[in-house]
Structure 1
Amino acid sequence: MIKNCQITKAQQDVNNIVYRGRIIWRDISTWISTYLMVKTLQGDTELLEKIKEKLLRIVEDFGGLMRTFFGDKAAADYINLFSEYIMHITSLIDALVEGNSNAADEIVKQIYESAGKRIELLTEINPYWDKNTLENYIYTFTDMTIKEIIAFTSKQYESSINIYERILSYSTGLGDFLAQGIKNYLMYNLEPPTNVGSPPTVE
């Protein structure tokens, strides 16, 4: 009876992480776009802060689920790196809206550095996240996000909308890849990693 309850609880945890893994990147892209619009339209400062808080709560939420499977230190490191990435993204929006191109160029470098650190962490804690595949996913997502920000702040609204739609579609594959990596980790528990799939090509 106890064993059956433990199995059921573990399966519920897996299902929860899979669900969150599938939607986290859609949530992130949606709230980044919301921040972009509010900032560009010179919205209320308090609203901008609330949106940033929402983005960081999403990171905390997913980090909390990771803690269940990879431990406190891995979760804390992930939350710190992902939060840093999010804050760099919002800083890039601020810089472009304010016309500070020099600051924007430097922030873009910081965004990619932060993304790289997160990739290193994730592939260290879970061998079922293939590094090359994860790099392709994360860097492509980052590329598109930066392009969306530049297009919107340059008033290329149609282009920005098209990029955003591509991001939403792409984020599903990214979320599925992360979720599958966790499932494989739990199922095989450090047996030789299997091929967990390649990211789609973005035109």
Structure 2
Amino acid sequence: MTNYTKLLMSLIDATKAGDTTAINDITNQINKNIEDRVNFLTYINPFWDKTTMSDLLNTFNEMTIREINTFANKDYQNNADLFSRILTYSDRMGNVFADGMLNYFTFSSREPRVP
């Protein structure tokens, strides 16, 4: 998660600088980071569906990048709207994570897998 946050900070800097090459490179790194996190999470908890987790994290990321862009373009109304949507969406994400944890602890009789 720390790497993801650092990548987002780098994306903000590249966006402010208007560096399209860096923006594309960082965006690719972010997408790889998300893929790695999905693989890790679905490996350690079989109750988290890979497609669902991927969709959740990618959609969250897309909204976050749009929020960065609206702020950089001084489109504050859409920025505030996106922020509100992200808050609502993160509540949904939390429910999926919590359901997966609950199912894991309720129905799993094995030790957690460690990569």
Give the TM-score taking structure 2 as reference length.
Answer: 0.90
Count of equivalent residues? 110
Partner of 2:78: 159
Distance 2:20 2:55 in 1: 27
- Residue 197 of structure 1 aligns with which residue? none
- TM-superposed CA distance for 1:120, in Å, is 0.4
Would the alpha carbon gap of residues 190 and 128 (structure 1) be closer, same or farther in structure 2, given more than 3 Å must change?
A: farther
**Aligned residue number for residue 115 of structure 1:** 34
1:116 CA displacement: 0.6
Residue 106 of structure 1: how far off its partner (Å): 0.9
**Aligned positions of 1:116-195 closer than 5 A:** 116-189=35-108
Percent of counterpart pairs with the same letter? Answer: 37
Please give the per-residue CA displacement for 1:58-116, whole angstroms capped at 9, x wherever unaligned.
xxxxxxxxxxxxxxxxxxxxxxxx21111101110111112222211111111111001
Match of 1:96 in 2: 15
What is the aligned-residue RMSD (CA, Å)?
A: 1.3
Residues 22-67 of structure 1: per-residue CA shift (max 9 Å, x gap): xxxxxxxxxxxxxxxxxxxxxxxxxxxxxxxxxxxxxxxxxxxxxx
Report deviation, 1:165.
Answer: 0.7
| Structure 2: runs of 5 or more not aligned | 111-115
Question: In 1, distance between residues paired with 2:17 and 2:103?
Answer: 45
User: Could you tell me how far apart the structure 2 residues matched to 1:159 and 1:107 are?
Assistant: 23
Tell me which amino acid in the other structure corresponds to 2:100: G
Name the TM-score, length of structure 1 as normaliser: 0.52
CA offsets, 1:169-190, max 9 Å, x none? Answer: 0000101111111111011115
Q: Unaligned 5+ residue runs, structure 1?
A: 1-81, 192-203
Q: Which protein shows a greater Rg?
A: 1
Give the secondary-structure state (helix, strand or coil) at the position aligned to 2:47. Answer: coil
* 1:184/1:94 CA distance change after superposition, 3 Å: same
Runs of 4+ in 1 over 4 A off after TM superposition: none
Amino acid at match of 1:103: A
